[in-house]
Structure 1
């Protein structure tokens, strides 16, 4: 079963089609400007009981009425068994929709992306009957968008940059740039992109960094993780008093951020944080918790 990371990569292209234009531009590939874009059925099964289903298929209607189909596949590792599937997808879609077909493979690691781009001949050595050669996107040709000003030009592309570079040392700076960009767009789109980022980062250190960023109170949007932390405070507030409960919830948020970032917390520091009832001070600690290298730095 595909993972949530796998799904997030191609769903981002499906839900935000403008990302295709960015992708082709990054690779210096000319792609005609479409007048219409539609998601089409990804089921490529024939009468025979063999299920063939691609990840995402988008049908581009060009300005003069011509059609062009783009099949987007999310690939997490090298897998030669995919070659026959991709050949089938391209040929079947070409026949079904009677138009040119482009196969775009999106990858999270450089080795897989390089493998995806290699020509994959089918037939006799030196005389292939068919060559499958996808366009491959990966960390080596997707820029790491670390400049907030650049991120604000396209929040969607910055999300994709973060997902592609999830295991890169630059991901911290990318996520901070994305933080700035999401606060410049409409709330509903920001919510969607924030959640897609959280899902797409998967079980990585980058996901914990993103979750930590999203616990900050000055955000206009919240992740499920952030809301969970706030709800803990609200529930305890009903029992122990609203202000005291909110303070305890805020204190737990500070500790959670430190723990998720791998910052050691001594018993004395934990006791001091949990004992604090000053909401303004706790909020400042929560912001500092995103950057400190030791828990004691919170109190500087």
Structure 2
């Protein structure tokens, strides 16, 4: 099953395809034309012989109807021998088959978690044909510019999330993480829980408390507008504040795909302390299991 660290970068590009050509031009120095329209393209290419190539995402730039340029974009989080062998066999084919299908120039970009992985993934691939050497254009979060101002976060919210894991040094960490939360307000509301989860998995353990504190402050101060957010954040309606909070805690855990066993459910629903429930609500956005929302709390009396 694809991990959240694989799927979220792709979701950000699907949400706003022009992010990929922006990175290609300004970060990788590729001569990608500045086209007025970019859209997701075919992610599966049928071969002449039985079989298919399954790409992560294709982004197609157009002036009118016909494709003018295409970017195959992969997310590659590992670089073991098996992965490098697969890349060497498949990625050159991605480029040639997409070029054949769309009839336009094609470049392949790969987003990697760190510089060592990116360098290995970018190793030249000798195809065997004279002068036909394939090399993916790779980048990692630290290669992207740090997003540290509200103006930048509002204009390129996707880049704020993609770049954040590479800019968590002491001088800029607080600003970078704060702008991640600012950027999330500009992205699709129903994906915010997943974006929180993605950043939480990228933040090193030594900075986790700082991130959780920023998340808690954002939840307290942000005016939620989506139907999803209202369902989980509106407090004090119909069934009362504590009951609504308890429902929100469990719903967020479930929406994040975390198992909620009977002991967790019982402890949450039987709690009438709104302050305690609010702390669990904050933790529900960043923990990796239902039980973790109780960490640091006194054990319940038997």
Is TM-score (shorter-chain normalized) higher than 0.5? Answer: yes
Q: Could you say which structure has the larger radius of gyration?
A: 1
Verify the 8 A CA contact 1:33 1:63 in the aligned structure 2.
Answer: no
Report the secondary structure of 1:215's partner residue. Answer: helix
Report the secondary structure of 1:58's partner residue. Answer: strand
Number of residue-to-residue matches in the alignment: 258
Alpha-carbon distance, 1:34 to partner: 0.9
Residues 155-203 of structure 1: CA distance to partner in whole angstroms, max 9, x if unpaired?
22212223x53987765532211323455x5xxx452563452353364
Alignment CA distance shift 1:157-1:204 (3 Å): closer
* Aligned equivalent of 2:51: 50
CA RMSD across the alignment: 4.2
In the TM superposition, what are the counterparts of 1:133-144 in structure 2 within 5 Å? 133-144=135-146
Asked whether 1:177 is paired with 2:179, we answer yes
Partners of 1:258 and 1:56 lie apart in 2 by 33
Counterpart pick for 1:94 among 84, 99, 115: 99
Residues 60-96 of structure 1: CA distance to partner in whole angstroms, max 9, x if unpaired?
1147966111101111111212121101111111112
Alignment CA distance shift 1:16-1:199 (3 Å): farther
Tell me whether 56-65 or 29-38 shows the greater mean CA deviation: 56-65
TM-score by length of 2: 0.67
Report the secondary structure of 2:53's partner residue. Answer: coil
Alignment CA distance shift 1:238-1:64 (3 Å): closer
TM-score by length of 1: 0.68
Partners of 1:10 and 1:37 lie apart in 2 by 15
Partners of 2:229 and 2:174 lie apart in 1 by 19
Residues 2-48 of structure 1: CA distance to partner in whole angstroms, max 9, x if unpaired?
22321111221122023124312123333211133232221113253
Verify the 8 A CA contact 1:214 1:222 in the aligned structure 2.
Answer: no
* Aligned equivalent of 1:111: 116
Counterpart pick for 1:157 among 156, 159, 162: 159
Partners of 1:119 and 1:145 lie apart in 2 by 31
In the TM superposition, what are the counterparts of 1:1-300 in structure 2 within 5 Å? 1-23=1-23, 24-62=25-63, 67-78=68-79, 79-80=83-84, 81-123=86-128, 128=130, 130-162=132-164, 164-165=165-166, 172-183=174-185, 185=186, 189-191=187-189, 194-201=192-199, 203-205=201-203, 209=212, 212=216, 215-220=219-224, 237=241, 248-254=273-279, 257=282, 265=296, 267=298
Structure 1, unmatched stretches of 5+, are 272-300
Structure 2, unmatched stretches of 5+, are 245-269
Alignment CA distance shift 1:149-1:122 (3 Å): same
